[in-house]
Amino acid sequence: MFDKILIANRGEIACRVMATARRLGIRTVAVYSDADRDALHVARADEACRIGPPPAVESYLDGKAIIAAALATGAQAVHPGYGFLSENADFAQDCATAGLVFVGPPADAIRAMGSKSEAKALMERASVPLVPGYHGADQDPELLASEAAKIGFPVLIKASAGGGGKGMRVVGSAGDFPAALESARREAASSFGDERVLVEKYLTAPRHIEVQVFADAQGNAVHLFERDCSVQRRHQKVVEEAPAPGMTEERRAEMGAAAVAAAQAIGYQGAGTVEFIAEGDDFYFMEMNTRLQVEHPVTEMITGQDLVEWQLRVASGEALPQSQPDLSISGHAFEVRLYAEDPQRDFLPATGRLHHFETPETSAHLRLDSGVRQGDSVTVYYDPMIAKLIVWDHDRASALTRLQGALAATHVVGVTTNTAFLHAVASHPAFAAGGVDTGFIERYAEDLLPASEPLDDAVLALAALAEISAVEGEACGKAAASGDARSPWFRTDGWRLNGDTQRRLLFEAEGREFAVDLRYANGSGIEAAMPGGGVLKLRGEWREDGSLRADLDGRIFSARVVQQGNDFTVFHAGASHLLHLRDPRNPDLTGVDEGGQLTAPMSGKVVEVRVEEGEGVEQGQVLVVLEAMKMEHSITAPQDATVSSVFFSAGDLVEEGAELLSLELKDDVTRD
């Protein structure tokens, strides 16, 4: 076994590989770009090498820099993770040339699977089932049209060199074929520099079922059963599970044997995945991925094996740890990918700082693979995946219940995520029924992406309670000396001691304003007049774990409310709501809308600090100039104030959200 390996990746997969390496007593070398100096994968490694600036092409895709780092640190092997250089045959070759073991298949096996039509020809010879179709060399349009007619419409034209859906055209009838061929060719030429296509029978509602395979240098090959990854959106997997719902032992054995035959046909070594599409009782080879996949944990959960350990053992020349009869399936596992993206805006990737990142406790039933921690930023440079949540239980229904629970207990503030969307998928009756096809998300889009609903009174009331308790917290803090620092129940008398018996909270949410009028009712808590006209009696209690137990007119809610300045994120009923409090008592120091934030609006460099501590400033005066994304941003005073502290000086790099300076306001009416 190796003593030391380099992990040519970042994020959760780099951390994942390091966890196994550490367990096996292997020292680890991380690589990082300038954007990742403080990243988790760097902190987790025994040592780390800088490989370049933030853009991946200049760092994580720079094979030469990575090989130089491996040689400089004395690493014996390079684990590529997934993505980046993991399926780059030239990189695999360059590692070998440099005397480093590439933890993956031989370069030739990567090349063999890189071309769709070549892979299909190889598979045909190995008797792996293929979708009925034509993948010959003759590309004469007349011939392709007659092959299409032979196959029977609808057919699918695919780029021979392609993958991921590029250059694909569904053709419903012979009349549409010539135009579709033209356009598929053009797209194939521009995407892959190769206009060749293949034509296949089009399956209208297939499932995506893939088989995990493993082979060693001694000629042993096994499969570790299947994963169902049919829930996809534009070729991005959303949920993966193992085993596949409805899979019979007979078909599992057939698919497993076909996958092993596929691996053996190309002299495979290491971890690989053979993808099939399945419809009814039939299944057909699609492509083979010559790497460890994102969704490998579901296979680990049902087999009890550590696939990274298997990879390292095989790469170091050992035989496979287990043979086919040793392997069996136990229970059921799901994985979901938690992304920084906005499902309401067509899943646009989101960036920002993870001000609050809370996930449920891990256990034998719940695994969390993540490359970030609270306080880290999701940047534009890399894939915006925040974490993978993986659950396991004895059967599918119990595992699905765990998945719903895990998602409801996942709370992210600071970056928009797909958490609620994943929760909707996991809670959908069609998904619970099992065996959905690749059209699931499109078919149920209306259920999964509901138009934003009117803010529920409960959400407003929860935010109101959190705000009152924050005020109470301060009042209680002042009472600390008296030994009654913080009673678990809100001390509404403290509120009244401020001299108020009424207070209006004006929240902004979802582009509208909501007023909640609070009235301190002597002896009977707080009454809240809600925007819809209802009146609720509010009572609340913070629990030890930081959650809020709220009593709203006798209905008890458990919720999480995360406050950052005047922003409240309420996690309630599997959804999250961001409410901004317009509060004259606690003016907006960090509100973006005021144009006066004192925090860095994005990561960047301090160009100039124009004020000193103790200096008086006027509203609108420029305090600090920040350069970010090649633009200068002025940070101005929100109102007349005195500078109390300056936290950075010119030349410093600051992270998004970092507090640049603090002000003492002239007519400070806050909280006293």
Is the Cβ of residue 165 or residue 584 nearer to ligand MV4 in the bound state?
A: 165
Q: How many residues bind ligand MV4 (CB under 6 A)?
A: 16
Judged by CB under 6 A, does residue 233 bind ligand MV4?
no
Neighbour tally for 509: CB within 10 Å: 19
Rounded distance between C-alpha atoms, residue 517 and residue 531, angstroms = 8
Q: What is the largest CA-CA distance in the chain?
A: 92
- Using the rule CB under 6 A, which residue among 115, 212, 438, 469 binds ligand MV4? 438
Judged by CB under 6 A, does residue 9 bind ligand MV4?
no
- Using the rule CB under 6 A, which residue among 167, 206, 256, 574 binds ligand MV4? 206
Q: How far is the CB of 283 from ligand MV4 (least distance, A)?
A: 12
- Using the rule CB under 6 A, which residue among 66, 69, 75, 286 binds ligand MV4? 286
Q: How far is the CB of 249 from ligand MV4 (least distance, A)?
A: 24
**Cα distances (Å, whole numbers) of residue 191 to 168, 446, 596:** 12, 32, 45
Rounded distance between C-alpha atoms, residue 271 and residue 276, angstroms = 17
Question: What is the chain's alpha carbon radius of gyration, rounded to the nearest angstrom?
Answer: 29
- Using the rule CB under 6 A, which residue among 208, 252, 332, 365 binds ligand MV4? 208
Rounded distance between C-alpha atoms, residue 197 and residue 139, angstroms = 8
3-state SS record for 310-330: HHHHHHCCCCCCCCHHHCCCC
Rounded distance between C-alpha atoms, residue 78 and residue 84, angstroms = 13
Is the Cβ of residue 77 or residue 130 nearer to ligand MV4 in the bound state?
A: 130
Q: How far is the CB of 156 from ligand MV4 (least distance, A)?
A: 4
Judged by CB under 6 A, does residue 165 bind ligand MV4?
yes
Q: How far is the CB of 225 from ligand MV4 (least distance, A)?
A: 18
Stretch that binds ligand MV4, among 203-211, 411-419, 443-451, 635-643 (CB under 6 A): 203-211
Sign of CA dihedral 354, 358, 359, 363: positive
Judged by CB under 6 A, does residue 115 bind ligand MV4?
no
Strand-pairing partners, residue 273, are 212, 289
Contact present, 338 and 419 (Cβ < 8 Å): yes
3-state SS record for 183-214: HHHHHHHHHHCCCCEEEEECCCCCEEEEEEEE
Judged by CB under 6 A, does residue 131 bind ligand MV4?
yes
SS3 429: helix
- Using the rule CB under 6 A, which residue among 186, 235, 345, 585 binds ligand MV4? 235
Sheet holding 616-617, edge to edge: 616-617, 641-646, 661-665
- Using the rule CB under 6 A, which residue among 2, 60, 91, 202 binds ligand MV4? 202
> Taking CB under 6 A as the criterion, which residues in 83-112 touch ligand MV4?
none
Is the omega angle on the peptide bond into residue 450 within 30 degrees of 0, that is, cis?
no
Is the Cβ of residue 164 or residue 477 nearer to ligand MV4 in the bound state?
A: 164
Catalytic residue among 291, 367, 402, 560: 291
Q: How far is the CB of 337 from ligand MV4 (least distance, A)?
A: 15
Judged by CB under 6 A, does residue 200 bind ligand MV4?
yes
Judged by CB under 6 A, does residue 156 bind ligand MV4?
yes
Judged by CB under 6 A, does residue 232 bind ligand MV4?
yes
Closest CA to 118 of 226, 265, 313, 247: 265
End-to-end CA distance of the chain: 65
Measured CA angle at 24 (ends 23, 25), to 5 deg = 90
Judged by CB under 6 A, does residue 167 bind ligand MV4?
no
Active site residue 291: yes
Q: How far is the CB of 211 from ligand MV4 (least distance, A)?
A: 14
Judged by CB under 6 A, does residue 277 bind ligand MV4?
yes
Positions annotated as catalytic residues are 291
**What residues make contact with ligand MV4 under the rule CB under 6 A?**
131, 156, 164-165, 200-203, 206, 208, 232, 235, 277, 286-287, 438
